[in-house]
Amino acid sequence: MYTQCPECLTVFSLDVTTLAQARGYVACGSCAVEFDALASLADQLPPEPFRQLPLQAQAEQPPSLDLAVYRPRAEPPAVRIDEATTSAPSVPDDFSQLQFAPRFARDKSARKARRSRHPHHLRHRPVNSTRRGPWILTCALLTVLLGLQLAWINRELLIRDPVVGGWLRRGCALLDCHLPLVAAPDRLRLLASNVQAHPSVAGALMISASVRNEAAFAQPYPIVTITLSNARGKRVAMRRLLPREYLDDNAIRRRGMAPGASAVLLFEVQDPGDNAVAFEFSFE
């Protein structure tokens, strides 16, 4: 905001704080004349050149302020309680001064009053442990069932584990149970193999392979793939045999290969002719 000295016509910049401290009267810094800064108060300067700021017109009566932004809440008047009026509550004539407490506040006050009337040992009685017993037992049973379900889902990993698998095998030995078979074809070792003409079938070959299970757990009989190749290493025949194709005994297949046990597998395949001079085995 800006104001102008009426004597030397010097224009000054001022703020609301300066006006509030002097109640509108200030002193000119050029001629030291005291004057009413509100008479020539302006938000912006007029375009130059100018000589004198326009004067504010005096209102005949003070303007009314209607745009209220904050109105403090009126405090209720203090009520003096006399001894004569304590016996019967008085009803005020002005109902606008009555204050009503919410229901939850009244209930909370009533609960506090009831607790204050009861002894401390009655307010804090321990919960009967017999009521919590079935819940604790149910939670423990559900936890055990969840653990068993997770163990069954990850049974192959647990049986393969050297520590946990050892515990499971010792437990089954005591309980006379059998762990499920876990396939580990990388732990099968080919000890010996032989190929010869089939003694009773013309145009067929009899192939034998001695295999040992080097895993610490029993595993099912593998899927065997036999590949025959010629002298130049080119494959001329291949046969993929399932356990039921080279083992007729269902009981042996169910027991699987015990840990550290060896087995001789016999395969009957069609003779590809004189081109087949080499063969190899692979297990799945």
Q: Look at the block and give the residue holding tokens 């000890």.
A: 191
pLDDT at 73: 78
- What percent of the chain is predicted at pLDDT more than 70? 77
pLDDT at 108: 63
Residue 95: CA count within 13 A, CB half-sphere: 0
Query: Strand, coil or helix: what is 109?
Result: helix
Mean pLDDT of the residues in the chain: 79
- Of 58-62, 153-157, 160-164, 249-253, the poorest mean pLDDT is in 58-62
Residue 245 reports pLDDT greater than 70: yes
Residue 283 reports pLDDT greater than 80: yes
pLDDT at 130: 65
Higher-scoring residue by pLDDT: 74, 89: 74
Residue 227 reports pLDDT greater than 80: yes
Return all residues near 225 (Cβ < 8 A) that are at least 6 apart: 238, 239, 240, 241, 281, 282, 283, 284
Q: What is the pTM of this model?
A: 0.44
Do residues 6 and 54 touch, judged by C-beta distance below 8 A? no
Residues β-bridged to residue 206: 196, 268
